[in-house]
Structure 1
Amino acid sequence: MKEDFLHYLWKFKKFNFLKAETTAGENIKILNSGLHNVQNPGPDFFNAKIEIGNQLWAGNVEIHLKSSDWYAHHHERDAHYDNVILHVVWEDDVAVFRKDKTQIPTLQLKDWTLPEMLSNYKNLLEAPQKWINCESDFHQFTDFQLKNWLERLYVERLEQKSILIKKLLKETENNWEAVLFQLLAKNFGLNKNGKAFLAMAKSIPFSVVRKIEEVEILEALYFGQANLLSQETDDSYFIQLQKEYEYLKHKFQLQANQQEVQFFRLRPPNFPTIRLSQLAQLYIHQKNLFSKIKAIQTLEEIYQLFEIETSSYWKNHYSFGKESKVTTKKLSKKFIDLLIINSIVPIKFAYQKSQGKVEVENLFHILESIEAESNSSIKKFNQLRDKTASNALESQALLQLKSNYCDLNKCLQCELGLSLLQRKAS
């Protein structure tokens, strides 16, 4: 059993609270269970109002599995706990006293919790290992219930993605164009080269990127800062870029980037050479890209902005000096969708939030117009419930659900888990 179950029982009064008594036999009347403290130091519930016996108390409530946890956590030394009026525990194994030597009243929940509630909890969270705790019940959630929770989870995911954006804004002195460049660079690198591409982008002052008008020069800048121009070769284009980069490096006093890009186990269209060439083309053809992005309302407008391909050299190359069949290496729709999911919508959300006017319905519409991602987690959710993820908003929300709730056994912070407990206990 975990403390969060006791938090749930107390917060939602999921025990026989009308008849509950302290371990000393005093009646308890809960007028206000208090404000749940989930982030700050101190007791678990603030500003509760409770009548114990014939005395009205106002103060805080602390919750533990055992009373002795009070001393195990050294609360007797912490001034945050001086105003605790009730100690709520599953098992009362030791008396707990205030600094003035008066005993803190204790509510032992195991005496007042309905057996079926405990059984439901154990079935959900203490059953043999499953992919997710509620997998046998997942198909029972209503469409309305699931849709509402997934929308909230997606906003939560956008909030998490905003953490990196805020960090980049601080580093660039609130330059949204520079942040978009860095964010796009990271996502052009995908999982394998995302960190290296971000490091490359951060190593280049964005004012330098804006000044360059020729794609070969911008490629030289990107390739050089990504450590792709350090080897020896007789390829003429490589030598041209190498010379150009040395000039740029000296002119703009560029510092070397220590991150190395990877080719290993990448499909050729995702080679860093191809992705950096495409990124260079994007910033040659789309000046003031963030200004355009923030004004965009439709998915088609975004697709039009990203109608780019590599420079001519890379039409018959994937790496320097090795010719291949001539192909036009455009950004695929699937790749642009990933950019929209991981860069465009998050930065639009962060900017709108900074302006105090989030157009959440428009952001939802964009994501709902994109096909759901396909990975092992999404496939498993779709097996548990037919078409759980029918678009990118739902697949993103399900990834948030799996990593931030299911994997951490946070069923009691999940609307689906709570509804299961409540439904089964009724």
Structure 2
Amino acid sequence: MDFSEHFLHFIWQFRLLNSAKLYCEDGEELQVLHPGSLNKHAGPDFSGAKLVIDGIKWVGDVEIHLKSSDWLAHGHQNDQAYNSVVLHVVYQHDSPIYRTNGSLVPVLVLKNLFSDHLLSNYTELIAHVNPFPCQKHIADVDRLIVDTFLSRIMIERFEQKSEEVFQKLSNNRGDWEQTFYYFLARNFGFKVNAVPFELMADALPWPIFSKHKDNALQITALIFGQAGLLEQPFLDVYPTQLQNEYLFLKKKYGLIPVDPVLWKFLRMRPQNFPTVRLAQFAALILKTNHLFSKILEAGSVKEVRLLFNHLPVNEYWKTHYHFNKSTRQVVVQPGTQSIDNIIINTICLFLFSYGKYTDQPELMDRALDFLENIPAERNAIVNQYVSAGLKVDRAFTSQAILQLNKCYCSQKKCLNCAIGIKILKK
């Protein structure tokens, strides 16, 4: 048996049996009025099945195994929850199974009851590794099926990410500003420096900023100081000023900086260096009062982008990527792609999360609408699906593809995917 129980779940759930008349192992005629609902939690595999066995109607659960003896191997004979099983569906019957009250559980054997092409399609999908299982077939699937499933898992992606937001919100005692600041900081680090940005944000509580909001030198000193980047001798005037301010504020608030070795500079374009990102982050805090409130009020992507334009980044960074090392003049404002990345990964997430938390569905809809009005991301994962024939032009689709790849393709959960199911049935 070169397949898993999940394949049998697929056969049972979609009634892909090649016989109009079914019989249990002991000869009772079986009619499947409804296969039941797939149970993803503890207990029998399908709940609420409606069956007619030997003329008697049953409503209950269905358990599925490769072999009947797996019931015993899994310890179901000692579990009261399995007394509700009205049918045991197996590929191979090798042992009679009894409920805890001693009654025999009827058995349906699936061997020879489904078409060979289902198994060959399944085997081909599951055996395929790179770049993703259905790479050769996805372009042939009806676009409506693809788009419908991508829309569903886009919501799923936000739902999952919202749980992380709510957990951080709980840790912050319901403070949305502090929570938003933390996720925004993490996003400014992008993937490479997300962790040190997170640590810096945790080590520098948001309320401290409110006490120094009108002082650019102090705000910047707090950020670079807590990033651990002011713990060295300086030759230039500006970093020396930052260092002096930070030493005072560090003592005043009892601050502990993060370890500077965490910051990564290698194999990055200079405009993405963490020093430049930190300077931009400080400038954003200086420019925007009540940023989270303004995000909630913004009615379009254009309005949000304006909040990140013309940041008051200190002139020092126009000729420096590092402290004490000058370079030719460079652009220090975040580019459109960087801003859109923040809108996609932080702004839209918080619109959705806050809308869900406060029961404001219009904010959740706005988050999805924003994604529809931002160009698609281009990265190694998305490009694989584009190369396979999918049209990906909006961030809504590229984000859904990231979810598809992470939670379905990379885990080979083709039987939980509407696209995979369509290919398997072909």
**TM exceeds 0.5?**
yes
Q: Is the 8 A contact 1:151 1:397 kept in 2?
A: yes
- Structure 2 counterpart of 1:297: 299
Q: Does the alignment pair 1:30 with 2:32?
A: yes
Q: Is the 8 A contact 1:64 1:89 kept in 2?
A: yes
Output the CA distance in 2 between the equivalents of 1:120 and 1:240: 67
Q: Is the 8 A contact 2:286 2:312 kept in 1?
A: no
- Structure 2 counterpart of 1:251: 252
Q: Is the 8 A contact 1:180 1:347 kept in 2?
A: yes
Q: Does the alignment pair 1:228 with 2:229?
A: yes
| Distance change (3 Å), C-alpha of 1:5 and 1:254 | same
SS, match of residue 219 in structure 1: helix
Q: Does the alignment pair 1:97 with 2:101?
A: no
Q: Is the 8 A contact 1:48 1:59 kept in 2?
A: yes
- C-alpha displacement at 1:258, in angstroms? 4.8
SS, match of residue 22 in structure 2: coil
Residue of structure 2 aligned with 1:419, choices 419, 422, 426: 422
- Structure 1 counterpart of 2:335: 332
- Structure 2 counterpart of 1:269: 271
- Structure 2 counterpart of 1:402: 405
Output the CA distance in 2 between the equivalents of 1:162 and 1:354: 9
- Structure 2 counterpart of 1:106: 107
| Distance change (3 Å), C-alpha of 1:129 and 1:239 | closer
Runs of 4+ in 1 over 6 A off after TM superposition: none
Output the CA distance in 2 between the equivalents of 1:37 and 1:357: 30
Residue of structure 1 aligned with 2:385, choices 370, 381, 387: 381
The amino acid across from 1:179 in the alignment is T
- C-alpha displacement at 1:337, in angstroms? 0.7
- C-alpha displacement at 1:361, in angstroms? 4.5
Residue of structure 1 aligned with 2:393, choices 380, 384, 390: 390
- C-alpha displacement at 1:133, in angstroms? 2.2
SS, match of residue 345 in structure 1: helix
The amino acid across from 2:413 in the alignment is K
Output the CA distance in 2 between the equivalents of 1:78 and 1:154: 37
Structure 1 unaligned blocks of 5 or more = none
Residue of structure 2 aligned with 1:3, choices 2, 5, 17: 5
Output the CA distance in 1 between the equivalents of 2:191 and 2:122: 37
SS, match of residue 48 in structure 1: strand
Q: Is the 8 A contact 1:298 1:366 kept in 2?
A: yes
- Structure 2 counterpart of 1:201: 201
Output the CA distance in 1 between the equivalents of 2:26 and 2:277: 70
Note the 1:130-149 alignment, pairs <5 A. Answer: 130-149=130-149
| Distance change (3 Å), C-alpha of 1:119 and 1:192 | closer
- C-alpha displacement at 1:289, in angstroms? 0.3
Note the 1:6-155 alignment, pairs <5 A. Answer: 6-16=8-18, 18-38=20-40, 40-126=41-127, 128-155=128-155
Q: Percent identity?
A: 37
Output the CA distance in 2 between the equivalents of 1:5 and 1:368: 35
The amino acid across from 1:291 in the alignment is S
User: What per-residue deviation string (whole Å, max 9, x for no partner) do you get for residues 344-401 of structure 1?
Assistant: 101111111112232354333322222211112222211211x521121111111111
- C-alpha displacement at 1:30, in angstroms? 2.1
Q: Is the 8 A contact 2:5 2:66 kept in 1?
A: yes
Q: Is the 8 A contact 2:23 2:108 kept in 1?
A: yes
User: What per-residue deviation string (whole Å, max 9, x for no partner) do you get for residues 93-137 of structure 1?
Assistant: 2222222333211111123223333333334334x5442222222
- Structure 2 counterpart of 1:177: 177
- Structure 2 counterpart of 1:369: 373
The amino acid across from 2:402 in the alignment is L
Q: Does the alignment pair 1:342 with 2:345?
A: yes
SS, match of residue 95 in structure 2: coil
SS, match of residue 82 in structure 1: helix
The amino acid across from 1:192 in the alignment is V
Q: Is the 8 A contact 1:18 1:29 kept in 2?
A: no
Aligned length: 420
- C-alpha displacement at 1:187, in angstroms? 0.7
Structure 2 unaligned blocks of 5 or more = none
Q: Is the 8 A contact 1:274 1:310 kept in 2?
A: no
- C-alpha displacement at 1:10, in angstroms? 1.5
- C-alpha displacement at 1:18, in angstroms? 4.1
Q: Is the 8 A contact 1:309 1:329 kept in 2?
A: no
- C-alpha displacement at 1:143, in angstroms? 2.9
- C-alpha displacement at 1:278, in angstroms? 0.7
- C-alpha displacement at 1:20, in angstroms? 1.2
Q: Is the 8 A contact 2:203 2:256 kept in 1?
A: yes
Output the CA distance in 1 between the equivalents of 2:100 and 2:413: 35
| Distance change (3 Å), C-alpha of 1:20 and 1:309 | farther
User: Normalising by structure 2, what TM-score?
Assistant: 0.93
Output the CA distance in 2 between the equivalents of 1:398 and 1:300: 24
Output the CA distance in 2 between the equivalents of 1:58 and 1:258: 61
Output the CA distance in 2 between the equivalents of 1:72 and 1:347: 46
User: What per-residue deviation string (whole Å, max 9, x for no partner) do you get for residues 285-332 of structure 1?
Assistant: 101000000111111101110011521221211111111223341011
Q: Does the alignment pair 1:310 with 2:313?
A: yes
- C-alpha displacement at 1:147, in angstroms? 2.1
SS, match of residue 33 in structure 2: strand
